[in-house]
Amino acid sequence: MTAPLTLAKRAARRLPRRGVVLRVLPALLLVALAFAGPWLAPHAIDTPVTAPYAEPGGEAALGGDQLGRDVLSRLLAGGRELIATSLLVAALVTGAAAFLGALGALRPAVGRVVERCADVLMLLPAVLGILLIALSWPGGGRFAVIAAAVVMGVPYAVRLVAGAAAPVAASGYIEAAAVGGERLWHLVVREVLPNLRATLLALFGLRFVAAVYIVATAGFLQVGPQPPAADWALMIRENSGGIVLNPWAVLAPSLAIGLLAMSVNLAASALVPRSGRREVTAL
């Protein structure tokens, strides 16, 4: 009886790992396709190959855009910078929020100042924030978009991390480490943040989705990438006038942005440590 039970336990342990792989795999494939897209494109992104807004067929599998350029080639080449920018924004926002949130939990006076600043910034709508930073930084291009996304994202993330870090900062081993003479940076980096892994990983996924939204909105407003660059959000804006003639010129980049946001969020939730999920037993 021992052998079958052991095999059953091993099989039960493998199932969650397979589930994690299945939920992470779509995001990995989509990101890999986006980064390899420029080399897989069948045509140059700025050369007309068919009539404007031509239907799919011939040398253009997804038809032509407003200038007769291949929609498939521009779709394959248009996701790399969006993903790279969104990953950078999500990493910067999560890192800044982790430090400020943990610092605010350990030093309540600092935490109150950070929260008041976050409250003021949260009153600013995302689109207005993008336009303000873009207009005050002429020629900033994609760096202005990154700055706007970080400024708009940190306030929400700080409030979340501060709430999760408060009970950790009040625990006995943190007080013991402080009484033992450990410095503030040691308490933040070595004591508080390691206990917030699940929160920070989930936060990274949420901030990536938010960054995709802000970067795509900036691209739609032509703040950042400029024509004739291949960019998914820019493709939606450029081809919206011909959506009746060739819907794929608008639908394909829209679906790509949606799939990217969902797959990365799904992957982040799958990678959250199991210790962060506890089932509540019914009484």
Q: How confident is the model at residue 2 (pLDDT cuts 50, 70, 90)?
A: very low
Give domain status of residue 262, yes or no.
Answer: yes
pLDDT at 244 over 50: yes
pLDDT at 51: 92
164-198 in b/e form (b: 16+ CB < 10 A) is bbbebbeeeebeebbeeeeeeeebbeebbbebbeb
pTM of the model: 0.80
DSSP string, 126-143: HHHHHHHHHHHSTT-THH
Q: What CATH number has the domain bearing residue 142?
A: 1.10.3720
Total domains in the fold of the chain:
1
Q: Domain of 189?
A: 18-40+47-271
Query: Does 124 reside within a domain?
Result: yes
Average pLDDT score over residue span 244-252: 93
CA pair distance 200, 163, nearest whole angstrom: 12
Instruction: For residue 278, name the pLDDT band (cuts at 50, 70, 90).
Output: low
| pLDDT score of 67 | 92
Give the pLDDT confidence of 197-216 residue by residue, as tens digits.
888 888 888 888 888 888 88
Predicted local distance difference test score (pLDDT) of residue 276: 47
pLDDT for 170: 84
- Residue 136: inside a domain: yes
d(Cα 226, Cα 233) in Å, to the nearest integer? Answer: 11
Q: What is the pLDDT of residue 7?
A: 56
| 174-188 pLDDT tens trace | 888 888 878 888 888
The verdict on residue 185 lying in a domain is: yes
Q: Is residue 132 part of a domain?
A: yes
Confirm whether 6 is domain-assigned.
no
Residue 201 inside a domain? The answer is yes
In-domain check, residue 283: no
Q: Is the separation of the CB atoms in 250 and 243 below 8 Å?
A: yes
